Amino acid sequence: MLQAGNKYCADCGSLEPKWVSSSHGVFICIKCSGIHRSLGVHISKVLSLKLDEWTDEQVDALVKFGGNTVINMKYEACLPSNIKKPKPNSSIEERSDFIRRKYEFLQFLDIEENLSCPFVPSHARCSSYSERSSSSNNFPQDKKHYDKQETKSLIGSTFRNSWGRKDSEHKSSKKSNSLAGMIEFIGLIKVNVVKGTNLVIRDVMTSDPYVIISLGHQSVKTRVIKSSLNPVWNESLMLSIPDNIPLLKVLVYDKDIFSTDDFMGKAEIDIQPLVSAAKAYEKSSINDSLQLGKWVANGDNNTLVKDGTISLEDGKVKHDISVRLQHVERGVLEIELECVLLTQ
C-alpha cells in the first residue's frame, strides 16, 4: 500500500484506493471495483483492504504481481494515443468501456505475452484506428480475435463452463454481462455462506456441494465440499448492490468431474429490507446493538425455515437467515448477510 503507484487507482487514478483485484494485482477505487465485479470472478476477483480478511498466501501473491505500476506497464503497453484512461470523475460508461478493454478483451496487453497489439501504441499514431474504435460494435470481433490466443481467458472459459450453464436465468445473466458495468452501485453486500443441512444426494451415497450467489449480472462461488450432505463452508463472498435492487439468488450444485454438475436446489432472498435498515441506521445516532427488523417465516413465505432477524452489531447491519432450498426434496442453507453502503 505504501508503494507510490498503489496510492492511486490503477484504472482511473482516484486517490487512496481501498480495493484490490487479486486476479491482476492492482489497487482500485470503489467505483472501478464495481465494474471489476461485474466482469465475473473468472476475470477479476475483488477484495477489500479493510472489509476482507487476507491470508498470508493472498498477501504474498499480491506482492509477486508487483503493484499498479508494473501491471499497468503490462496491461496498458499497447494503449493507443486516442484512447484516454478514465479520470476520478469519469462516468460509469467510460470506466466500463476502458476496464473491459483492458482486462476482459486484453486489447492493450504487452506483446511479450504472446499477443499481438491490435492497436497502435501511444508513441505511434494510426488514422485508421479511430474509425475502427469509434463503434462499440467492434467488441465481439475483438473478443473473437483474442479467444484464439493462449491467454488467461481460456482458464476463465473452463471455469465458466463448469458451472455457468446450470440455470437458465443464471446463464442469461452472464450473456448480458456487457450491460453490468453501466449500472450505478449503492453499496456492497457481504454474504457469509455458513453451512448446509440435510442436502439431497446426487452421487451414489452423498454429494460434493458448492454454492453460487448471484445478484443481477454478478456471480460468485464457494469452494466445493467433498462427500458431505451437511457441508460447512463459513466462506464470505462480496457483491456490489445496484441501485435497482434485484433478488439475491442462491444456487446449490453437486460437483461432477466427468459430467454436468447436478442441481441441488435454489432460493431467492429479498435484500431490500436489509438495505433499507442500513440506510436508516446511517441517518441515526444509534450505537448500541439492537434488532432493526424481522423477516417472518409463514405460509406465504415457505423459503424461510425460521424467522430471520435484521440486527445492528458492532456498527454492522446484518441479516441472519436459514432458507429452505426449492425444487428439490430437502435441504437447508444458513446464510449471514451484511450491508455496507458506499457512503460508509
Question: Residue 267 has what pLDDT?
Answer: 95
Domain boundaries, the chain: 19-104, 185-341
Q: Which SS3 state, helix, strand or coil, does residue 36 take?
A: helix
Task: Write the DSSP symbol of residue 137.
Answer: G
Residue closest to 78 by CA, chosen among 32, 109, 102: 109
What amino acid is encoded at 79 in this protein? L
Question: Residue 113 has what pLDDT?
Answer: 52
pTM of this prediction exceeds 0.85:
no
What amino acid is encoded at 16 in this protein? E
Please give the Cα distance from 277 to 261 (Å, whole number).
37
Q: Which fold has domain 185-341?
A: Immunoglobulin-like (2.60.40)
What residues pair up with 215 in beta bridges, in sequence order?
A: 218, 248
CATH 3.40.50.300 assigned to domain 19-104? The reply is no
- pLDDT mean across residues, the chain: 80
Q: Which residues of the chain have pLDDT under 70?
A: 111-183, 286-302, 343-344
209, 268 Cβ separation under 8 angstroms: no
Question: Residue 180 has what pLDDT?
Answer: 46
